[in-house]
Amino acid sequence: MSDENKLASKFDDWQRMRLDPTRCPVRNVLDHLSDKWTTLIVIALAGGPRRFGELNRSIPDISKRMLTQCLRNLERDGLITRHVFPTSPPSVEYRLADLGRSLLGPLGVLIEWAEASHQSVLDARLRFDGIPPST
């Protein structure tokens, strides 16, 4: 069965089961993972542990408040771990947990697709907006 048929079949199964959208496991997980910042944070941590300031510098357009909130959500979901070191002041380091590392494979495939399809998506947007794509 092709990937598109598998996905269509799974979607049809969910429809037949009349799954409560608020309890759907796919929506529940993807709501967090598809967040604007979550993917970037996971990618930043793929290279190894980072402190808060390092993460903030590596994603320059994220606010400290949003970074804090995203890190808490990722920790709550079991994707990252937070390690506090007894220094003065205490230093904190974030690392991918096993569950977070298991996300890297599927995320890598999605990133490869995004890189390969970026120009096609931009061209499609221009066509939709009635602007001829540049050649």
pLDDT tens per residue, range 102-112: 999 999 999 99
Output the pLDDT for position 46.
96
Of 122, 54, 44, residue with least CA distance to 79: 44
Instruction: Report the SS3 class of residue 91.
Output: strand
| CATH architecture label of 35-129 | Orthogonal Bundle (1.10)
Question: Per the structure block, which two tokens stand in for 24?
Answer: 């759907």
Output the pLDDT for position 135.
61
Question: Per the structure block, which two tokens stand in for 112?
Answer: 């490869």
pLDDT tens per residue, range 39-67: 999 999 999 999 999 999 999 999 999 99
Q: Considering Cα of 17, then 21, then 24, then 30, what sign does the dihedral take? A: positive
Tell me which of 3-7, 36-40, 79-83, 127-131 is least confident.
3-7
Q: Kindly list the domain boundaries of the chain, sorted by start residue.
A: 35-129
The DSSP symbol for 135 reads -
Output the pLDDT for position 8.
84
Please check the confidence at residue 17 and state whether its pLDDT lies above 80: no
Of the two residues 62 and 20, the one the predictor is more confident about is 62
Helix axes 64-76, 38-46, angle to 10 degrees: 80
Q: What is the mean pLDDT of the chain?
A: 89
Output the pLDDT for position 16.
76
Please check the confidence at residue 19 and state whether its pLDDT lies above 80: no
Of 100, 101, 91, 95, residue with least CA distance to 53: 91
